[in-house]
């Protein structure tokens, strides 16, 4: 039985940068796969971008949060020698994952058709902005761009608001999950058939899939949904769905019988209503509820609503979430020892395996931190060759601590 997760023994050559690819390979690494992160000579793009300008020990939080459980080596893929090195790795790998623009892997000679000649059961997973072909194939792909082009910002916020994007990288993260399950499915298929294959993921299709229910509703009548003026949280839903201000905070109410909400809040207009999703009067009913919840403390109202098993929850800020007893019980706040940051607090592993538990085995690597050991282990180089490749810049020297 594996001690490092269910994917122990799987070798993944990781050419990804930014968010969606590194997020996916981190998840696969959490599940025990060996992730060899191939970085360009100037490092993963995310090493030079810090969300909120936040750094830890000289490393950007945006890089650190997506790159645990990996080893890093910087290789110049523009050099003949560098390409030869990565081909050696790809010949040993179970999976290659990349998110270059379409056509780059073929131009480098490390595309699926080339790699399968020497590694017949290789799996090559590619992630792009809009797909490997089609009218947008040459366009740059990024999370906000994918949100915009699929209409997501048009259905968020109030009627009077401008289009409002989601603050989280929802397209990146959704695409990352698609990379993960595509990789796992291809590995299972290879177990059954003995054959590798290509897997393709793109941001545009991923973020559309995140709107599956909403877009299906639109396709039935082709009418753009209208956002609520009163703050109903979703343009397809009615009262009481939304956030409500209390005297000391906010509370969320989902699809609940309006009659029962009215009983708790003493709203006579709701007494004989059977609806739990009132569309036509949603703004008026939202304002009736607003006028009542402002007189309650969050905990008191939660207690009354939960007594009736109504769907409700407090709105928590990040500080409250970090101390939430269920979040802590689920081990979703963890601390990772790091050579320069000392200790990196981040989110834990959300999927739990009973027989092969996932572990955080490796900190997010410093740039090319594992160049020396990887050069020997997977590229077959000796001390003299490693020194020569360092000197020529074909392999990047490890960042000094």
Name the residues annotated as catalytic. 172
Find out whether 306 and 313 touch, Cβ atoms under 8 Å. no
Phi–psi pair at 144, nearest 5 degrees: -60, -40
β-bridge pairing 242-246 and 249-253: antiparallel
Nearest to 205 by CA among 171, 180, 179: 171
β-bridge partners, 36? 13, 71
The 10 Å Cβ neighbour count of residue 116 is: 18
Find out whether 207 and 150 touch, Cβ atoms under 8 Å. yes
Helix (H) or strand (E) holding 219: helix 212-221
CB burial readout 164-199, b (16+ within 10 A) else e: eeeeebbbbbbbbbbbbebbbebbeebeeeeebbbb
CA angle at residue 169 from 251 to 252, to 5 degrees? Answer: 10
The 10 Å Cβ neighbour count of residue 87 is: 18
């Amino acid at each position: 039985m594996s001690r490092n997760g269910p994917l122990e023994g799987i070798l993944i050559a990781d050419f990804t940068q930014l968010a969606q690819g590194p997020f996916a390979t981190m998840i696969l690494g959490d599940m025990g796969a060996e992730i060899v992160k191939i970085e360009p000579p100037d490092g993963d793009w995310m090493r030079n971008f810090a969300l909120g300008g936040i750094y830890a020990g000289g490393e950007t939080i945006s890089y650190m949060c997506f790159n645990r459980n990996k080893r890093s080596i910087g290789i110049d893929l523009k050099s003949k020698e560098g390409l030869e090195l990565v081909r050696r790795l790809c010949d040993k790998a179970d999976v290659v994952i990349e998110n270059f623009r379409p056509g780059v892997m073929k131009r480098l000679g490390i595309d699926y058709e080339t790699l399968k000649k020497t590694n017949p059961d290789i799996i090559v997973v590619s992630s792009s902005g809009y797909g490997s072909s089609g009218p947008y194939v040459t366009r740059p792909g990024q999370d906000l761009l994918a949100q915009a082009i699929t209409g997501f910002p048009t259905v968020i916020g109030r009627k009077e608001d401008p289009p409002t994007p989601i603050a989280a990288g929802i397209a990146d993260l959704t695409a990352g999950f698609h990379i993960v399950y595509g990789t796992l499915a291809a590995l299972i298929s290879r177990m059954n058939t003995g054959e590798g294959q290509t897997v393709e993921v793109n941001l545009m299709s991923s973020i559309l899939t995140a709107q599956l229910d909403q877009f299906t509703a639109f396709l039935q009548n082709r009418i753009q949904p209208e956002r609520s003026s009163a703050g109903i949280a979703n343009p397809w839903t009615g009262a009481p769905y939304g956030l409500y201000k209390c005297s000391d905070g906010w509370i969320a109410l989902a699809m609940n019988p309006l009659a029962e909400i009215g009983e708790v809040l003493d709203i006579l207009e709701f007494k004989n209503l059977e609806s739990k999703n009132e569309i036509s009067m949603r703004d008026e009913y939202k304002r009736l509820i607003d006028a009542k919840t402002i007189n309650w403390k969050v905990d008191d109202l939660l207690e009354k609503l939960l007594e009736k098993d109504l769907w409700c929850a407090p709105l928590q800020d990040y500080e409250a979430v970090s101390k939430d007893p269920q979040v802590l019980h689920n081990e979703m706040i963890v601390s990772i020892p790091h050579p320069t940051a000392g200790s990196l607090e981040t989110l834990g592993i959300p999927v739990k395996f009973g027989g092969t538990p996932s572990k955080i085995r490796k900190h997010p690597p410093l740039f090319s931190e594992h160049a020396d050991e990887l050069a020997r282990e997977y590229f077959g180089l000796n001390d003299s060759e490693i020194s020569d490749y360092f000197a020529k810049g074909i392999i990047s020297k490890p960042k000094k601590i």
